[in-house]
């Protein structure tokens, strides 16, 4: 996909801005498994995904990983551009989960665009708010309430009880069992699905990676 089709706000840029961003952005192909950013404060620029799939995650000292988010076709990843976000002092890792075609946009150029173009500023604002909300949710459910652990445990116990990896149960029912809201269950199940641990269909949850799910149960 060419740059213009990749960047969601391309049509909202002026001809000058389009020419400039195109002339300085760098096209790159990377293999699945490549680590693009390793938590160093180095500012590599923004990554625009033309094809493939990226994953941003945190890594604990004991090697546990928590996925912060994924980036697909036409998504832009700001986490690799610490200079665009003030006070970016955290360690985040970005890896290619599939073979990818990427565009690297220099951070200084993007920063300038944000300061002169309303569409770029609004778009970035939406992006960051979205990430912020996701992060708060993750923090709340995973780090704090350990809801991932509890849900993993529940699914594995149900599966053992019913003697099948494919549970016929609604999200509502699970929520009742666990004393939480349906939305929380649905969102965590989707997180599990993205991590390849379950497959969701209407009215059922199929466990596709028992081992990975069991690892979540904690000590």
Distance CA 169, CA 183 (A): 15
Q: Which of 22, 44, 88, 169 binds a second copy (CB under 8 A)?
A: 88
CA 101 to chain centre: 17
DSSP lists the bridge partners of residue 131 as none
DSSP lists the bridge partners of residue 58 as 66
x/- track of binding to a second copy for residues 24-63 (CB under 8 A): ----------------------------------x-xx--
Shortest Cβ 146–a second copy spacing (Å)? 10
- Binding segment (CB under 8 A) for a second copy, from list 3-11, 28-36, 86-94, 154-162: 86-94
> Which strands, in side-by-side order, build the sheet including 93-96?
35-38, 93-96, 54-59, 65-71
Q: Which is nearer to a second copy, 18 or 117 (CB)?
A: 117
Q: Which is nearer to a second copy, 95 or 124 (CB)?
A: 124
Residue 52's nearest CA partner among 8, 101, 93, 5 is: 101
Q: Which of 40, 133, 168, 194 binds a second copy (CB under 8 A)?
A: 133
Shortest Cβ 89–a second copy spacing (Å)? 6
CA distances for 95 relative to 118, 155, 204, angstroms: 31, 29, 31
Q: What is the signed CA dihedral for 154, 160, 162, 168, rounded to 10 degrees? A: 40
72 sits near a second copy (criterion: CB under 8 A): no
DSSP three-state, residue 215: helix
115 sits near a second copy (criterion: CB under 8 A): yes
Q: Which is nearer to a second copy, 7 or 30 (CB)?
A: 7
* Chain contacts with a second copy (rule: CB under 8 A): 58, 60-61, 84-92, 114-118, 121-122, 124-126, 128-140, 143-145, 183, 187
């Amino acid at each position: 996909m060419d740059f213009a089709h990749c960047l969601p706000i391309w049509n909202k840029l002026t001809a000058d801005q389009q020419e400039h961003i195109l002339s300085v952005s760098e096209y790159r192909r990377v293999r699945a498994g490549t680590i693009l950013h390793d938590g160093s404060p180095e500012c590599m620029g923004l990554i625009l995904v033309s094809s493939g799939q990226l994953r941003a995650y945190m890594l604990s000292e004991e090697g546990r990983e928590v996925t912060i988010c994924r980036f697909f076709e036409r998504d832009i990843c700001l986490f690799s551009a610490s200079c665009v976000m003030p006070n970016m002092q955290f360690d985040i890792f970005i890896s290619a989960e599939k073979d990818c075609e990427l565009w690297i946009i220099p951070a200084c150029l993007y920063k300038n665009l944000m300061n002169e173009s309303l569409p770029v500023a609004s778009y970035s604002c939406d992006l960051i708010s979205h990430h912020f909300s996701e992060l708060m949710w993750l923090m709340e459910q995973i780090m704090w309430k350990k809801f991932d652990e509890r849900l993993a445990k529940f699914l594995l116990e149900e599966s053992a009880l019913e003697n099948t990896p494919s549970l016929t149960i609604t999200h509502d029912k699970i929520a009742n069992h666990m004393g939480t809201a349906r939305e929380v269950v649905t969102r965590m199940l989707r997180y599990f699905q993205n991590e390849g641990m379950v497959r969701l269909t209407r009215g059922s949850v199929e466990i596709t990676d028992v081992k990975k799910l069991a690892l979540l149960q904690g000590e």
